[in-house]
Structure 1
Amino acid sequence: MIRTLSLVIAATLAMGAAQADPRANYLEFCADCHDANRLGGTGPALIPQTLKRMRGPKVEAVIRDGRVTTQMPGFAEDLSDAAIAELATYLKTPLEAVPPWGEEQIMASRVLDEDYTPVDAPIWASDPMNITLAVETGDHHVSVLDGDTFEVLDRFATPFAVHGGPKFDPNGRFVFIMSRDGWVQKYDIWALQQVGRVRAGLNSRNIAMSGDGKWLAVANYLPNTLTILSTEDLSVAEVHEIKGKDGTPSRVSAVYQAPPRDSFVLALKDVPEIWEVSYATYPDMNYFGGGLAHDWKIEGPVPQDTKFPIRRITTPDYLDDFFFDQAYEHVMGASRKGEDGLVIDLVIGQKVADLALKGMPHLGSGITWQHGDTTVMATPHLKDATISVIDMQTWETVKTIPTQGPGFFMRSHKNSKYVWADVFFGPNKDVMHIIDKETLEIVKSMRPVPGATVAHVEFTKDGSHALVSVWEDEGEVLVYDAETLEIVKRLPMRKPSGKYNVWNKITFEEGTSH
């Protein structure tokens, strides 16, 4: 009886402690991912500026139930309803001060490695165009793989919580890697050495490399900026404050390069706009020159106070993700509601078509290939067990392919007759679907490691092998013969996420997300 009473008292005290102090609960349950200062780590910043579109009850629901399409768990078993409500209120409370992070602070953070020694040629004998980087998020490293032998040439430390795909310069020599807390790392693949690092934001989304390799654009959640860095020395070229036409501050959902247009294209998260930022050397003052950039004129002369003029396009809805056609004249955007999509013509700056895309498509992982006399684009869905295949000429859905669960990534190669698509969410997370590119039918569903998440495929330069991640802390990269679909090598790694082949990424190889 006394022992039972003691246990009840202890449990009551523990529950009371979990309810009493929202900051203590934050430090216990949230800080590992969102940092003790609430400015973001592997997860986004949790402050009013980033939560302003989420009402209190919605924040409570996420704390209680988690988010099925992310790594955010639910805490219903750890916290009472009252504690969850208090924690939600705490997250909506402003920080005493959000540190400024402009050009001065960014430059003060820059560190160039004193022991970095440039080389005239690779110090290894592998094919420079067939190098593949494997990001290991389990212990924040990247492995540099020979794409022919799959030997690990180097394994180097990255900033904490790498987010988004690394970006290679046009020669495939330097790679730039971004972390969720805004650090950008430059690494020399030829020398197998880090060149330096700079913190371009406090909480960042992704990066994009200019077509000429001179500039790196960093999309930031906090502060609301687009930072443009010189790739040569990681110095700041410009910091653009992000505000809508009506002055509303906004985070940047994503930024990508549009090489034929000599521009970056970015989607705003809190304002229904997309921006095109020119990095061209324009020939006169009437339009942004280079590529197709002349298709859109601006009123009056190009502003003299910026090297990177901005064109703003109002969109019918908020776009959290998007995909380009091959000419980079059209943007296929996903509605935030996850119920449909649309096509924006960048030449005229207007919507020209609707897309039948239910279930929150992950357009950032979309891929294209030649199908008959047309080009099709396929995308997985984060909330629906299907893959949508769309005709890039008519914008009509060619086929909806049922899968064993919502997926996250797709990949193919021009020399492969298959598309590889994972089932990232749900009980069948260990399934990898193999889809025939001609018939659009699933011809095989593999379970290489039963019970483990398998995801994100990358091909070698020639398409002969496909690399698949076993997305576990004690995971591995599985190397498949892309024709026989048999495993030929296993590379142990710490929660390998993305793999990125130099040739596929710098040539925008068919079947690679761009």
Structure 2
Amino acid sequence: MKSLWKPVLFASALFLVVFLAACAAQTPAPEPTGAAQAQAEGVALVKGKQVQEYYLDSCSGCHAPDRRGATGPALLPGRLTEKDAYYFDVIKEGKPGTIMPPWKTQLSDAEITSLVAFIRSEAAASASEWTEKDIWGSLTVITAEDKLPSEPVKPMNLDNLMLVTERENQGIAVINGDTHELLGTIPASYRAHGYSFHPTQERWAYNMGRDGWVFKIDLYSLKPVRKIRIGLDARALAISDDGKYLIAGNYMPASLVILNADTLELVMYYSTHTTDNEGKEIDSRVATIMDTAPDLVGPYFLVALKEAGQVWRIDWSKPDFPLVKLEKVGHILHDGFLSLDNRTFYLAAQTDNWMAAIDVDSMKLIKNIETGVIPHPGSGAAWEADGHSYAATTHAGEGKVTIWDTDTNEIAAAVETSGAGLFLRVQENSPYVWADSVFSKEPNKITVIEKTAPFQVVKVISEGKRTLHPEFTADGKFVYIADWDGDIVRVYNAETFEKVAEITGIHTPTGIFNSHRRAETIGH
């Protein structure tokens, strides 16, 4: 019997192999998706993204989504007159004296070569579309609110949480500012950028990624609750003082939305297709958005349009959201912040090298304060000291913090720092201003400056690899510093400058935002 079964089994096995081979030949392989599809089609990838997507995320802020240029030069084939090796070196090593940083710690040589090839290619004629229908269709409930806990799941001070952008990790690290303990990571989207905290309900926070996804976040459980995509490339986010409305702005497409803060449903949509300072019709990116306090100046959102050089004031207290426009504010508008009394909006006009001072009530330009090369105040710094009210900005084009008197709008001091920077911060209980120098030749220096005249530098902290975005704890006793390339957040005593903690387990930390910002008057 055994001798009869052997040939039968062999024949059966042979038939099965032939049959499976035939099926394989007739059944198409599953279509690759995402990065796999791009790779299969020979499309260049940078950090796992198609090269044009990486450009949009990392380069378009300075060079514009359509590569026509803004604070950085245009990257169009007709303008690129040097050989490829020149542009390869600029991307890899940066360009001293400009805001172009070195990317050698982020990108491989092959990825830089792909970027050079991309900027040599023909640019798209217009920005990609993302319509109101697309916005509505993207609204997603992630976690049902009736399933959320009734109190925080971990010991935490909800007025002293540090939310840290994990730039390349699609997450937000959450740290207990009382104990400097890492509590967990909230899933988010690409390069979490805008943060807002509900002004009356401590459990809710809001975040927007640069890819346009807006999240409602439950701080009790450290989970996202809802999300909606407002565009394809986005930057600015704010919440009204009554907690009813979110406002968010896009780079691409040129648009602005108002959302219901509870449900994230779309309430109002604005196109930011308008005219620039010279009267040319353009699509303008939204540069920054502020919310003003009704008891100080009015129930307003302030919106800066980057290329248009316009500021829009929207009254969120009225059903039709009436809008007032101020034109010809400056060229390439960027970050801004409010004076402590909310009556003046200070806004960077980066290619003009000034901070525009705008009267919020009358919507008139008061003065252009010529502070230095490419002002970049981040979320701003405004304080009172010795009977004076001051404000300050860092500069992306030179190592300088410029301080001015907000009563007169006259410059009070220009303080030299270690190099060009992006962010500075003050706190009412601390006597110092902290500023980074993230664009300097040695991008790991933090300058600490006295709040009072003559505004002396009292300390330069040199530690880490690429350090940025100082943020105070709610009581002003400690300052957190992100080390982008070091994957560390360091904590310093705000009075003695001694390091008190190093928080690891955080991937590419950049922006740090304390939940106490909900109580700030300089915009949130």
Hey, what does 2:420 align to over in structure 1? 406
Hey, what does 2:162 align to over in structure 1? 132
Q: Which moved more, 1:28-37 or 1:202-211?
A: 28-37
Q: State the distance in 1 between where 2:430 and 2:217 align.
A: 31
Root-mean-square deviation (CA, aligned residues, Å) is 3.3
Mapped pair 1:255 → 2:289: yes
Measured after TM superposition, the shift of residue 389 of structure 1 is 0.7
Q: What is the TM-score when the length of structure 1 is the normalising length?
A: 0.80
Q: State the distance in 1 between where 2:425 and 2:50 align.
A: 31
Q: State the distance in 1 between where 2:417 and 2:227 align.
A: 41
Q: How does 1:192-203 map to 2 (within 5 A)?
A: 192-203=222-233
Distance 1:267 1:32, change over 3 A: farther
Q: Are the aligned partners of 1:415 and 1:462 in contact in 2 as well (CA < 8 Å)? A: yes
Measured after TM superposition, the shift of residue 243 of structure 1 is 2.8
Distance 1:406 1:115, change over 3 A: same
Measured after TM superposition, the shift of residue 215 of structure 1 is 1.1
Hey, what does 2:56 align to over in structure 1? 40
In the alignment, structure 2 segments of 5+ residues that lack a partner are 1-38
Q: How does 1:197-236 map to 2 (within 5 A)?
A: 197-236=227-266
Q: Are the aligned partners of 1:43 and 1:180 in contact in 2 as well (CA < 8 Å)? A: no
Q: Which moved more, 1:243-252 or 1:129-138?
A: 243-252
Q: Which amino acid aligns with 1:506?
A: R
Out of 177, 186, 196, the position equivalent to 2:207 is: 177
Measured after TM superposition, the shift of residue 476 of structure 1 is 0.8
Mapped pair 1:447 → 2:462: yes
Measured after TM superposition, the shift of residue 122 of structure 1 is 2.4
Q: Are the aligned partners of 2:254 and 2:285 in contact in 1 as well (CA < 8 Å)? A: yes
Mapped pair 1:152 → 2:182: yes
Q: How does 1:58-97 map to 2 (within 5 A)?
A: 65-66=90-91, 68-69=98-99, 73=103, 87-88=118-119, 90-94=121-125
Q: Are the aligned partners of 2:45 and 2:51 in contact in 1 as well (CA < 8 Å)? A: no
Q: For residue 433 of structure 1, give the secondary structure of its aligned residue in structure 2.
A: strand
Mapped pair 1:369 → 2:383: yes
In the alignment, structure 1 segments of 5+ residues that lack a partner are 1-22, 282-305
Q: State the distance in 2 between where 1:316 and 1:380 align.
A: 20
Q: How does 1:459-498 map to 2 (within 5 A)?
A: 459-472=472-485, 474-492=486-504, 493-498=506-511
Mapped pair 1:103 → 2:107: no
Q: How does 1:364-403 map to 2 (within 5 A)?
A: 364-403=378-417
Distance 1:73 1:499, change over 3 A: closer
Measured after TM superposition, the shift of residue 189 of structure 1 is 0.1
Percent identity of paired positions between Structure 1 and Structure 2: 25
Measured after TM superposition, the shift of residue 240 of structure 1 is 0.8
Hey, what does 2:9 align to over in structure 1? none
Please identify the structure whose Cα radius of gyration is greater. 2
Q: State the distance in 2 between where 1:355 and 1:51 align.
A: 27
Mapped pair 1:500 → 2:513: yes
Out of 320, 338, 344, the position equivalent to 1:330 is: 344
Q: Are the aligned partners of 1:39 and 1:47 in contact in 2 as well (CA < 8 Å)? A: no
Following TM superposition, the consecutive aligned residue runs of length 4 or more in structure 1 with deviations greater than 6 angstroms are: 45-48, 59-62, 77-81
Corresponding pairs, count:
457
Distance 1:43 1:445, change over 3 A: same
Q: Which amino acid aligns with 1:416?
A: S
Hey, what does 2:354 align to over in structure 1? 340
Q: Which amino acid aligns with 1:256?
A: M
Hey, what does 2:4 align to over in structure 1? none
Mapped pair 1:310 → 2:323: yes
Q: State the distance in 1 between where 2:421 and 2:119 align.
A: 30
Q: For residue 176 of structure 1, give the secondary structure of its aligned residue in structure 2.
A: strand
How far does the alpha carbon of each residue in 1:310-342 deviate from its partner, in whole angstroms, 9 at most, with x for none?
211112423233232223222223223143333
